[in-house]
Amino acid sequence: MEPVGLAVGLVGLVGLFNTCLDVIDKVDSYKDFGIESRSVYAQFEADKQILKQWAQHVGIENGGLGVRHHRHLDDADTMAAVRTLLSSIHEIFGKTERTALNRQPAMESGRNSSLEIPHRGARIIQQPEPDFSRRDRIGWSLKRKGKITNQVQQFGSLVQRLYTLVPVENLKDAGVEGPGSRDSRWHSEYQQNLRQIRKHIEGEMRMELQTWLDASWTNHLYDNFVGRKLDGTCDWIQNRPAFIDWASPKFPDGSAKMLWIHGPAGFGKTILCANVVKHLLATPDSLVAFFFFSSETGSRGDPFIVIRSWILQVISRDQSAFELACSKCDSKTGQTATRTEILELFQAIVTILPRCTFVVDGLDECAKSTESWTSHEDSSTLGLLKAIKQSIAHTATKVLIVSRADADIRSGFHFMAYAHRNILLYEQAIKADDVQTDATIFSRSVVDKKLGKKDQQLRMDLSHRMVERSGGMFLWIKMLEDQLRGGKNKKQLEEIVDHAPTGLHHLYERNWKNISLLQDRDQARAFSILRWTVCALRPLSVAELVEALVINDDDLHDLPIDELPDAIDKDYIHDEILSLCGSLLETRSTDSEHDPATWTVEPIHFSAKQYILLQMTLPGTLNTNEQLNKALQNNIIATPSGSLLIQQSAGTTRGLFEITQQAHGINILVVRLQTLPKWIISF
């Protein structure tokens, strides 16, 4: 080719490539079909990257010609063939983009329909988007899937032909290194790009699925509970016949298996459960999902959060379950999965995945509705058990429930035995004799920690006395820990143990009585601490609690900064928070080295939280409904927080948020809103 003709030809080729690339970059219709199209979309993106890399290698850079170009482009026939291939690519995706543009107005109008701003004080009601998602999915499956898949395959074939015409490995003469054979180089780059894009798309889909499932993880709780286990404890359960039969890989007559481990409060059930999970996870080819109820658990009034979490864990560990969830997910509606969708997906998963094991701890801690139990049976723990048993029937699935001997759980567990005879039920009640050895080990660790300088015989004697008096309750031993001080002599220490009330309820009563005997100022502070602690939807940090406590109900115009502590350290936490509340509260932190202001203040046990709520009833009210009592206490908190919120929004004061930012950087306003009862928030 003549030099002038060559220059014009190359410039024209670059222009054609840029036009072609511009059309390709605008194509996004493969994304519009959601989950089903991600494989095709990944291939398309990989081919697009390969095309860009090819262009760079042959001398097309930054939209123009590079200093040098591939020598094969000097051949007129090769140049013409390359033009033809690029024109074909342009034609394929020009049609695709026009088709995609025809769909945009309807979709955009659908989206804008939900952006209307309501008037002040009105409920914000999310307008549902038009039903594009399901209709598009049907269209994808029945009409356009084959067409679009064919377009992507054609695109990939054309890109490969470009590599054949102008091979990358021959670029050495043009100043570009490209080792390896032509086919292997193209295939290697293609596969690498394809893997990266698929990984990226799958990551996005997993985030969409988690949002759709509205599920949460409790791994941090599991790690915490496993770490609190003492050597030599929690092993007894593996020797019990009920556990052995349940844990066996055999499923007689194709029946699912369910084990209920229950015991009184304070018997170490959660630590035991965490270590059972650890044991199950160590089993080869195991697929275990678990959920731990705690004060951190959101939506504690909905027991079905357990199944949502189980599903999330399974799809994160098994590709077939992930693919199944993708086929069920309808993320384009912007709504979370309904309970019906969740149960259908759960049943489908246990059907295709044999030998799954599901564990839930503290199911009795799921808050009960304040309304009629019978009218909300399907939303209760009984309803959850029914749903689980209906889902796992005729499958090789194991379920473990660990809780107190709750009446609803007992009813659901035993009643369903008649409805589902193809589910084998096992029950293990925890008794004092079962945990005697574990309680002895725990008691000895507490005594050694608090009284390390005392002689060994005294420590052994005190440890034995504590185990005998506690009746095997670890929590009872823990609540006595703060009273064991090294400055006391042998007689005083023995009296502390021997005179301690037996039973958790009596121990709680003694703590409550001690609080009621405090001076008025300290007593009011202690009750306020307890109220904030048990009513918060999540555990409050020390800094948040401190800021909440200094608010004066009689003066809501400003936060009295002069009443904030000079520093929040271990001494302040002990003297001004924990010591006032006896053994009813404790601080928790994932790392003891963290700033004490970030530690959380929580009831020492769920049973302690229940006791506090029952004691904090208003005069003349019955103390039989935990949720109602919590709402009453929230109402007490609501008055100052609501006033401060209104004042801040009206601009009449600096606002609590600004002040707390200066103090500790914590937005206590958000915490206060969270603690308001639902009937106050929904104005």
**What string of DSSP letters covers 301-322?**
T-TTHHHHHHHHHHHHH-HHHH
- Domain holding 82: CATH number? 1.20.120
Contacts of 366 (CB under 8 A, 6+ apart): 293, 300, 301, 302, 303, 381
- CA 249-250-255 angle, to 5 degrees, is 115
Amino acid at 149: T
Residues 265 and 405 both lie in one domain: yes
Is the per-residue pLDDT at 312 higher than 50? yes
Is residue 213 assigned to a domain? no
Is the per-residue pLDDT at 360 higher than 90? yes
- Helix (H) / strand (E) element for 375: namely none
Residues 273 and 322 both lie in one domain: yes
Residues 325 and 408 both lie in one domain: yes
Determine which of 74-88, 150-164, 472-486, 617-631 has the lowest per-residue pLDDT on average.
617-631
- Domain holding 374: CATH number? 3.40.50.300
Q: pTM (2 decimals)?
A: 0.66
Classify burial at 559, counting beta carbons within 10 Å of its beta carbon; exposed 0-12, middle 13-18, buried 19 or more: buried
Whole-Å CA distances, 35 to 129, 188, 327: 18, 26, 7
Give the residue among 319, 387, 304, 399 at the shortest CA–CA distance from 353.
319
Residues 233 and 332 both lie in one domain: yes
Residues 269 and 408 both lie in one domain: yes
The pLDDT of residue 146 is 61
Is residue 287 assigned to a domain? yes
Going through 9-75 in order, the beta strands assigned E by DSSP cover 60-61, 64-65
Residues 440 and 425 both lie in one domain: no
Is residue 559 assigned to a domain? yes
- Helix (H) / strand (E) element for 289: namely strand 287-292
The pLDDT of residue 172 is 44
Residues 396, 437 contacting (CB under 8 angstroms)? no
Last residue of a domain, one of 203, 232, 248: 203
> Who has greater pLDDT, 511 or 138?
511
Q: What percent of the chain has pLDDT over 90?
A: 34
Is residue 210 assigned to a domain? no
- Helix (H) / strand (E) element for 471: namely none
Count of other CB atoms within 10 angstroms of residue 374: 7
Distance from C-alpha of 396 to C-alpha of 194, rounded to nearest angstrom: 36
Q: Which domain holds residue 463?
A: 436-500
The distance from CA 168 to its chain's CA centroid, rounded to whole angstroms, is: 47
The string of pLDDT tens digits covering residues 429-474 is 999 999 999 999 999 999 999 999 999 999 999 999 999 999 889 9
Kind of pairing, strands 585-588 and 356-361? unpaired
Give the residue among 510, 448, 505 at the shortest CA–CA distance from 471.
505
Which of 23-32, 98-107, 404-413, 552-561: highest mean pLDDT?
404-413
The pLDDT of residue 426 is 95
Residues 266, 507 contacting (CB under 8 angstroms)? no
Give the residue among 158, 155, 156, 185 at the shortest CA–CA distance from 57.
185
SS3 content of the chain, % helix, strand, coil (to 5): 65, 5, 30
Residues 161 and 199 both lie in one domain: yes
The distance from CA 538 to its chain's CA centroid, rounded to whole angstroms, is: 14
Residues 273, 430 contacting (CB under 8 angstroms)? no
- CA 459-465-467 angle, to 5 degrees, is 105
Last residue of a domain, one of 449, 477, 500: 500
The string of pLDDT tens digits covering residues 101-114 is 444 433 334 433 33
Residues 380, 373 contacting (CB under 8 angstroms)? yes
Is residue 121 assigned to a domain? no
For CA atoms 545, 551, 557, 560, the dihedral sign is negative
Distance from C-alpha of 659 to C-alpha of 654, rounded to nearest angstrom: 7
The pLDDT of residue 51 is 81
Report residue 3 as tokens: 């030099």
Residues 388 and 242 both lie in one domain: yes
Last residue of a domain, one of 414, 429, 444: 429
Q: At what angle do helices 145-165 and 76-101 cross, to 10 degrees?
A: 160
The distance from CA 519 to its chain's CA centroid, rounded to whole angstroms, is: 43
User: Residues 644-653: what's their mean pLDDT?
Assistant: 34
Residues 156 and 229 both lie in one domain: no
Residues 444 and 566 both lie in one domain: no
Is residue 316 assigned to a domain? yes
Taking only Cα atoms into account, the Rg of the chain, rounded to an integer number of angstroms, comes to 33
Domain count of the chain? 4
